[in-house]
Amino acid sequence: MGKKVTVVGAGFYGSTTAQRLAEYDVFDTVVITDIVEGKPAGLALDLNQSRAVEGFETKLVGVTTGPNGEGYEAIEGSDVVVVTAGLPRKPGMSRMDLLETNAKIVRQVSENVAKYAPSAVVIVVSNPLDEMTALAQLATQFPRNRVLGQAGMLDTARFTNFVAEALGVPVKSVRTLTLGSHGDTMVPVPSRSTVDGKPLRDVMSAEQIEDLVVKTRNGGAELVALLKTGSAYYAPSAAAARMARAVAEDSGAVMPVCAWVDGEYGISGVYLGVEAEIGAQGVKRVVETDLDADELAALKEAAEAVRAKQADVAAM
């Protein structure tokens, strides 16, 4: 049977994600929803009209949803639901400043997803990411492997881009990794990063690496300060769309994602940025990788920071 994916939220992140998913031409249907009257239908119409030029057959459907779940029938049978609903940051805001507002939105969306697409894999992108992923699992009551969040793919892509630019080498020759939270306790992993197969530490000084680590950690804020009216969406949508595709194709690709951790790295009972194998059921398994002692300590610190906040969302 043909695959169906839903993108909830037709803002910058949602619309660009829907476009990427449609242009892959691997789904039968991409549904895009929002609470704004007419916007999802307009975007779907526009994207459908691009099919003849771009040469894809995927059909887009845009639906406005209501406060009591009106319109959610359209998401029935979705294999994957990407949740982008929620406010983005404004200059000077931290992701955590969005917690209460976005918790209400993500809870309402998740309850409807559970009702209308009970076998879907849910990929959360709304911020603060680690907390909203935990909340989506609580509100859907889906098995934890079927709820995951997008952050690590983006943070890793940013780190890779900064390294490639600093060294003047093609991005494809650079491999990097970031784990931990999508926030202050992001954990870039230089020990697992390479350039043309050589350890990053052999081609860059510790100070240079530290500069790029700081740039990566502040990558989102740098964009918010420049854009002024919203946050990044091209690189973020690329990341979420790849994850949704890995689910639809049951590819088993290993990606850095926000996943439920149950004993890996000696950490349990928390949603955290780790590498995981992605397939039709969401997270097939968390992939533990060798870390330096300081990287492992930073990952444990990140786990405790997000654990405290994730406990709060249960009541939101």
Ligand X SMILES: NC(=O)c1ccc[n+]([C@@H]2O[C@H](COP(=O)([O-])OP(=O)(O)OC[C@H]3O[C@@H](n4cnc5c(N)ncnc54)[C@H](O)[C@@H]3O)[C@@H](O)[C@H]2O)c1
Residue numbers annotated as active site: 182
In terms of Cα–Cα distance, which of 230, 223, 224 is closest to 161? 223
3-state secondary structure 162-218: HHHHHHCCCHHHEECCEEECCCCCEEECHHHCEECCEEHHHHCCHHHHHHHHHHHHC
| Residue of minimal Cβ distance to ligand X | 11
Site for ligand X contains 154 (CB under 6 A): yes
- For 64, phi then psi, to 5°, come to -90, 130
Query: Sign (positive/negative) of CA torsion 197, 190, 145, 239?
Result: negative
Site for ligand X contains 231 (CB under 6 A): yes
CB 122 within 8 A of CB 301: no
Half-sphere exposure of 246 (CA within 13 A, CB side): 24
Return the CA Rg of the chain. Answer: 19
Three-class DSSP category at 27: coil
Site for ligand X contains 224 (CB under 6 A): no
Distance (Å, rounded) from C-alpha 117 to C-alpha 83?
A: 13
Distance (Å, rounded) from C-alpha 83 to C-alpha 114?
A: 12
Site for ligand X contains 236 (CB under 6 A): yes
CB closer to ligand X out of 236 and 279: 236
Among 62, 88, 183, 273, interactor with ligand X by CB under 6 A:
88
CB closer to ligand X out of 165 and 234: 234
Site for ligand X contains 72 (CB under 6 A): no
Stretch that binds ligand X, among 102-110, 161-169, 204-212, 297-305 (CB under 6 A): 102-110
Site for ligand X contains 126 (CB under 6 A): yes
How many residues bind ligand X, per CB under 6 A? 36
Contact partners, residue 104, CB within 8 Å, separation at least 6: 316
Site for ligand X contains 150 (CB under 6 A): yes
Angle at 101 between CA 96 and CA 107, to 5 degrees: 105
Site for ligand X contains 102 (CB under 6 A): yes
Site for ligand X contains 36 (CB under 6 A): yes
CB closer to ligand X out of 129 and 241: 129
User: CB of residue 148 vs ligand X: minimum separation in angstroms?
Assistant: 11
CB closer to ligand X out of 195 and 313: 313
Contact partners, residue 260, CB within 8 Å, separation at least 6: 137, 144, 145, 147, 270, 271, 283
CA 120 to the chain's CA centroid: 16
Site for ligand X contains 14 (CB under 6 A): yes
CB closer to ligand X out of 127 and 161: 127
CB closer to ligand X out of 233 and 265: 233
Site for ligand X contains 152 (CB under 6 A): no
Site for ligand X contains 26 (CB under 6 A): no
Site for ligand X contains 105 (CB under 6 A): yes
Stretch that binds ligand X, among 159-167, 228-236, 274-282, 301-309 (CB under 6 A): 228-236
Give the binding site for ligand X (CB under 6 A).
8-14, 33-36, 65, 84-89, 98, 102, 105, 108-109, 125-127, 129, 150-151, 154, 182, 230-233, 236
